[in-house]
Structure 1
Amino acid sequence: MTTIKAFYTVTPNESTPKGCLWLSDLDQVRVLGRLSHSSQIYIYKPKNKNQNKRTIIETLKKSLSKILVHYYPIAGRCCYKEGGRIELDLNAKGAVLIEAETTKTIHDYGDFSPSDSTKELIPKVDYNQPIEEIPLFVAQVTRFQSFGFAIGIAYSHPLSDGVGCFNLMNSWAKISRGETLEDNELPFFDRTVLKFLHTPIEPRFDHIELKPLPLILGRPDTDIERKKKITAEFLKLTAEEVEKLKKKANEYDIPKGSRSRRPYSRFEAITAHIWKSASKARELSENQPSVVRFSVGIRNRIIPNLPKNYYGNALIQTAATSYIGEIKSKPLSYLAQRIREGNELITNEYIRSQIDVIRGFQHLDDARKLFLGGEGKNAAYFVGNPNLHITSWMAMPAYEADFGWGKPFHIGMGSVSPFDKGLILMSPDGDGSVTVCMHFQVELMKLFKKFFYGDLYKLFSSSRL
């Protein structure tokens, strides 16, 4: 059981810019409902098991007030403008720091896979208040029995993508250690670099990522799948297993039509393996369409490139499509190629075309419905059976948030996804191993793991022949 001991509103310890911060069209479509937050947890084992909890809280409060000077938008609030646009009011109302403790020990959480228990380590945001009062950044420090603590965060989607969030956390940690940020570490806030008011609105592509997701054949909606319980488990891949998957994916020639002849990456190989395992576990019709959605960073793809340390949402969603029969029967290279094709769609022209799709709506609520999966019952963001969503944190500096008590030994999501989803991240050991945090239907998880590990075992067995 987790008990909240205190709430602290933390404001910048120096004067910060005022006014409104314009949010790009890519920021606008990250608003789910009235407002939404993503969540993460960081788990720490201080070297000093008797680390004073007051010292921890006071250090975090003080350093948070300092980092808010550099990251002042997160101390502001959202506000609605004409046409459903949202902007950030730079009013310095502050972030929220919550002090909590639990009756559980650090060992009671096992491997910290997302569950009802780990969800208690994530701060709850009260959405039953005007949007102008909802804090954009909330952090909860939960002290475990005996020793160790968690820092759970709720981070507003319009603020930035994962790159910006990790940079914020690592910068906060650096300040907490008593260090100062260098000029090249400071965030760039001006989102108008993605403002294309003087160009015509001309969507130029058939945007696959914006099309309604396929339903299970014979079903009129997603109602049945939404009601099925989802569980989450960590699936480990050693460095050797990752290399085996990459080798398997690259056993066949890359099609000449591909824009690049480079070998398939570990992301493409791992995602292909997840997709194949999920498709086998679901036991759907051979002619059932299936879509894998994932996001691609645009910082170095849009022309001109976004400024260094651009702080905002700089992701474009894309997708790979196939049929269950093909996914199950064709080699891993086929699926890796489908995923690569989705990645290679994201060019400068494609990015600008997708932004033009958003700009073409008179009211942004209509654009949000499109970007979140369609109309009516399918409007909410549901990428469940027969589809899948994959997120990769492999390139993120995820384990650098040392607040002065050592680096986290675990970082991840605190709650279970409402739909089938895979999160791929590197091991904190730095040995090249990978963890897949798989969110999948309870009734199918055992089968998924059977194929996930069974096919890996076959790779190792065949290499010994």
Structure 2
Amino acid sequence: MTNIRSISIVVPSEPTPSGLLQLPESDQVAQWTHAPVIYIYRAKFNNTTIPFSFEVMKNSLSRALIYFYPLAGRLHWIEGGRLELDCDAMGVQLLEAYSEAELDELGDFAPTDAVRDLVPKVDYTTPMEEWALLLVQVTRFHCVKTPCFDYIEYTTKPPVLIGRTDANEKRKKETTATLLKLTREQVEELKKRANQDVVRVITIRPYSRYKAIAGHMWRCVCKVRAADSHNSQSTRARIGVDIRNRLKPSLPKRYFGMQFQLL
């Protein structure tokens, strides 16, 4: 069980640029949510270890927001049903928490209730203009001296494939996940099989390890769903692509924004 000790709103420690930032078209046609990311840091006990200070963490975040000031802003609707980012320095949410569990009890970090407690909760029933774009939760574990830094950053989520697209309804549904551990030998075998026919065609680039694994998973899922005659749900695979170095003209120096697309 994770207990929240304090909740703070952290703003930039110095004045930051204000104004409105337009969002790209790819961010206008999506279901909005936060993306959870969890970082775990184990304790290193020695004579030079500096005790963790939540106030130092808060001050560091405040200084970081000077450079990443859009994260302290808020989204709002404008004419035409579009969204803009208002750099109004409203701040990000910082939570201090303590977990009664031990770190090893979380296992492989499958999406259980214990793992979900490490991620800040967002009330999506409130107006979007009130949502913090960035929420950070610092969690200390039982018998562990150093904390776990968990944060969720505002991003887009691909639209659902079928059925209603209401965000609140989708969040009520239970999502299952499975973590598959592949050995190096298994990965190399998948890559070898994927490229058996490709090596004969000079114009086709050989498949990478990532593509070989993604393709294998895609085929397995399709076979399982096809075996169920009562399952009429569509199957679609999405792959994240970093387009930062693929754009022409290239992005300007010190660009700050979302440039990952799902294909």
Which of the five TM-score ranges fits, normalised by the shorter chain?
0.7 to 0.9
CA deviation after TM superposition for structure 1 residue 290, in Å: 4.2
Secondary structure in 2 aligned to 1:64?
A: helix
81 and 120 in structure 1: CA distance in 2 versus 1, 3 angstrom threshold: same
CA shift digits 1:65-86 (9 cap, x unpaired): 1110000000111111111111
- Is residue 223 of structure 2 the alignment partner of residue 280 of structure 1? yes
Amino acid at match of 1:269: A
Q: C-alpha separation between the residues in 2 aligned to 1:254 and 1:86? A: 47
1:132–1:229 CA distance, 2 compared to 1 (3 A): closer
1:139–1:49 Cα change, 3 Å: farther
Q: For residue 279 of structure 1, what is the amino acid of its counterpart?
A: C
Is the alpha carbon distance of 1:146 and 1:268 closer, same or farther for their aligned partners in structure 2, counting shifts above 3 Å?
A: same
Q: Which residue of 2 aligns with 1:314?
A: 259
Structure-2 separation of matches of 1:229 and 1:95: 28
By how many angstroms is 1:27 displaced? 2.5
Structure 1 equivalent of residue 55 of structure 2: 58
Q: Aligned pair 1:267/2:210, yes or no? A: yes
TM-score when scaled to structure 1? Answer: 0.49
Q: Deviations over 1:131-159 (max 9, x none)?
A: 2221110000111000043211121116x
Aligned partners of 1:228 and 1:15: how far apart in 2? 42
Asked if the contact 2:198–2:206 (Cα under 8 Å) also holds between the matched residues in 1, the reply is: no
Relative to 1, partners in 2 of residues 1:271 and 1:142: Cα closer, same or farther, differing over 3 Å? same
- Which residue matches 1:11? 11
Query: What pairs up with 1:168-317 in 2 under 5 angstroms?
Result: 229-253=174-198, 260-282=203-225, 283-284=227-228, 290-317=235-262
Letter of the 1:316 counterpart? Q
d(CA) in 2 for partners of 1:155, 1:49: 34
Q: What do you get for the CA RMSD once the two structures are aligned?
A: 3.0
* Pair 1:261–1:309, CA change in 2 (3 A): farther
Offset of 1:49 from its aligned partner? 8.9
C-alpha distance after superposition, 1:233-262 (max 9, x if no partner): 322123332222111111113685x9x522
- Which residue of structure 2 lines up, in the alignment, with residue 22 of structure 1? 22
Instruction: Kindly report which structure 2 residues correspond to 1:60-79, keeping only aligned pairs within 5 A, or say none.
Output: 60-79=57-76
Instruction: Tell me if 1:155 matches 2:153.
Output: yes
In structure 1, which of residues 72, 84, 93 is the aligned counterpart of residue 90 of structure 2? 93
State how far apart, in whole Å, the 2-side matches of 1:136 and 1:305 are: 26
Following superposition, the deviation at residue 20 of structure 1 comes to 1.2
Q: 1:120 to 1:88 in 2, by over 3 A?
A: same
Amino acid at match of 2:28: Q
Q: Any stretches of 5+ residues in structure 2 without a counterpart?
A: 165-169
> Secondary structure of the equivalent of 1:279?
helix
Counterpart Cα distance in 1 of 2:92 and 2:151: 11
Deviations 1:308-327 (A, max 9, x none): 55322223332xxxxxxxxx
CA contact (8 A) 1:102 1:144 kept: yes
Contact conserved, 1:97 with 1:138, CA < 8 A, in 2?
A: yes
2:187 match: secondary structure: helix
Distance 1:133 1:298 in 2: 30
Q: Which amino acid aligns with 1:128?
A: T
Query: In 1, are the aligned partners of 2:244 and 2:251 still within 8 Å (CA)?
Result: yes
- What's the counterpart of residue 391 of structure 1? none
Alpha carbons 2:198, 2:205 under 8 Å: kept: no
